[in-house]
């Protein structure tokens, strides 16, 4: 028997087991979440001097499906307020919050019990919740897990969980995705739920508040942030403002999650630069689509600024939109403005834009996926290709017009970019035009 004191409350915690209870095959890291969630609920709804019992036993049910005829049973019984009748049939539904929460003035997310059921199902077991029938007020949650491992596939037996609380999240499955997403929420159920549903698509990391979140963002590279609004130390709005005003972070898309549904909070989030705003309970499909759209938009931005436009496109016609793009607009405008100046260097560009070379390099790699030198070269080469196609001036004049004082140096750079020399580029274009005319 152990006395656990939390927030000036003393609750008696008793663990017992029948003799010779056999081991069962479980993913311990995952199953810890089940026990943790059930105990957390029991603590929430127990009064002072309440009692929580965990009992392990082995039993047999000849009416159950074959894998569960012989099972180990875990029962968690409490002396809390019990479960409301209208709650029982929805107990394990995602985001369902029964009237129990209102009675005890304890807020919940409606995710914990759903996560428990998902993990128990993954173990081919069952979980049930009901009120006590021994005349004492309270609830009892029962888990049954099959004995042995004949019900498991080889993949399930070999699979190892790689989750560390508060750091990388995993559900025992590996993703080929290279996208890293930071989930910032003081309620661990939310990140666990998101990871459980979308962990096969992205790599998730968890921080418990905005202070931890900013530290993590500055220390590592992330493609996107999902953050709660109401958190201790630094809330979601404050963290968002810190991200948007930090030159090293303001390119990262941010999705805000909140239980607040009024227009004022939405406007505040959007005003400070949130890319999306979802209200709890949120649809996991909507969250998935929102993440995909934001990441795809970022990828399109990479392509847009990598200089891979078609050769007949005006470089200085690029339209710049989005949170990061004021910087990119200044960079592109200055490169186009000085495109014929062979003395225009990255140092000059940094001075014109008002940013250090190190920060410009970091931002360019984050936004466009290339260096500022590569961007300058790409824009010059695309402009050169357009001028060659127009065939209004000779190659030497084109070299000077795009900032190359040496035609030899220009021809070398051009061939490295296009794979053919300027003369071959013109010949290829003429052949293509002739073919198009013949076909028409």
Contact 375, 307 (CB under 8 A): yes
**Mean per-residue pLDDT for 28-41?**
79
Residue 321 lies in a domain: yes
Residue 100 falls inside a structural domain: yes
Would the pTM count as exceeding 0.75?
no
Residue 388 and residue 326 share a domain: yes
| Alpha carbons 62 and 391: distance in angstroms, whole number | 87
pLDDT for position 301: 62
Tell whether 334 and 296 lie within a shared domain.
no
For residue range 50-88, list pLDDT tens digits in order.
889 999 998 888 888 888 888 999 999 999 888 888 777
Do 113 and 54 lie in a common domain?
yes
User: Are the CB atoms for 109 and 92 separated by under 8 Å?
Assistant: no
- Domain-ending residue, one of 122, 152, 182: 152
Residue span of the structural domain in which 291 resides: 168-302
One domain for residues 177 and 245: yes
Asked if 297 and 319 sit in the same domain, the reply is no
The total domain count for the chain is 3
In a domain, 268, yes or no: yes
Q: Which two tokens stand for residue 203?
A: 């790599």
Q: What is the pLDDT of residues 407-430, one digit of tens each?
A: 889 998 888 777 788 998 888 888
pLDDT digit string, tens, across residues 377-404: 888 988 898 888 888 889 999 999 999 9
Pair type for strands 254-258 and 203-207: unpaired
What separation in angstroms does the CA of 413 have from each of 100, 127, 349?
Answer: 71, 67, 20
Predicted local distance difference test score (pLDDT) of residue 98: 59
**Among 96, 122, 152, where does a domain finish?**
152
Output the average pLDDT for the chain.
Answer: 78
Q: Is 159 domain-assigned? A: no
């Amino acid at each position: 028997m152990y006395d656990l004191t939390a927030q000036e409350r003393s609750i008696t915690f008793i663990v017992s087991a029948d003799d010779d209870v056999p081991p069962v095959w479980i993913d311990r890291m995952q199953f810890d979440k089940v026990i943790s969630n059930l105990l957390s609920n029991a603590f929430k709804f127990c009064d002072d001097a309440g009692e929580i019992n965990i009992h392990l036993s082995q039993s047999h049910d000849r009416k159950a499906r074959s894998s569960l005829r012989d099972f180990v049973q875990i029962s968690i019984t409490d002396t809390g307020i019990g479960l409301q009748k209208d709650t029982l049939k929805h107990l394990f539904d995602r985001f369902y919050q029964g009237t129990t929460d209102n009675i005890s003035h304890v807020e919940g997310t409606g995710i914990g019990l759903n996560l428990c059921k998902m993990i128990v199902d993954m173990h081919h077991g069952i979980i049930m919740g009901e009120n006590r029938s021994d005349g004492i007020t309270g609830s009892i949650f029962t888990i049954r897990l099959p004995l042995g491992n004949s019900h498991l596939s080889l993949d399930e037996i070999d699979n190892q969980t790689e989750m560390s609380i508060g750091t990388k999240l995993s559900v025992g499955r590996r993703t080929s995705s290279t996208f890293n997403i930071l989930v910032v929420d003081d309620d661990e159920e939310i990140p666990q739920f998101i990871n459980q549903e979308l962990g096969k698509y992205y790599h998730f990391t968890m921080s418990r508040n905005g202070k931890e979140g900013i530290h993590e963002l500055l220390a590592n590279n992330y493609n996107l942030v999902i953050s709660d609004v109401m958190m201790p130390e630094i809330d979601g709005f404050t963290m968002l403002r810190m991200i948007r005003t930090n030159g090293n972070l303001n390119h990262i898309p941010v999705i805000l999650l909140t239980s607040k549904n009024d227009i004022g909070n939405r406007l505040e989030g959007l005003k400070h630069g949130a890319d999306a705003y979802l209200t709890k309970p949120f649809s996991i499909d909507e969250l998935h689509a929102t993440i995909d759209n934001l990441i795809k938009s970022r990828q399109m931005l990479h392509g847009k600024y990598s200089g891979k436009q078609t050769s007949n496109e005006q470089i200085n016609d690029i339209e710049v939109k989005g949170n990061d793009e004021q910087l990119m607009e200044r960079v592109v405008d200055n490169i186009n403005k000085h495109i014929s100046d062979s003395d225009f260097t990255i140092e000059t560009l940094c001075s014109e834009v008002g940013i250090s070379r190190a920060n410009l390099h970091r931002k360019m790699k984050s936004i466009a996926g290339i260096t500022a030198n590569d961007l300058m070269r790409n824009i010059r080469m695309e402009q050169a290709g357009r001028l060659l196609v127009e065939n209004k001036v000779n190659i030497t004049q084109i070299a000077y017009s795009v900032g190359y004082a040496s035609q030899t140096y220009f021809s070398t750079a051009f061939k490295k970019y296009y794979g053919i020399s300027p003369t071959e580029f013109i010949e290829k274009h003429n052949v293509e035009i002739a073919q198009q005319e013949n076909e028409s």
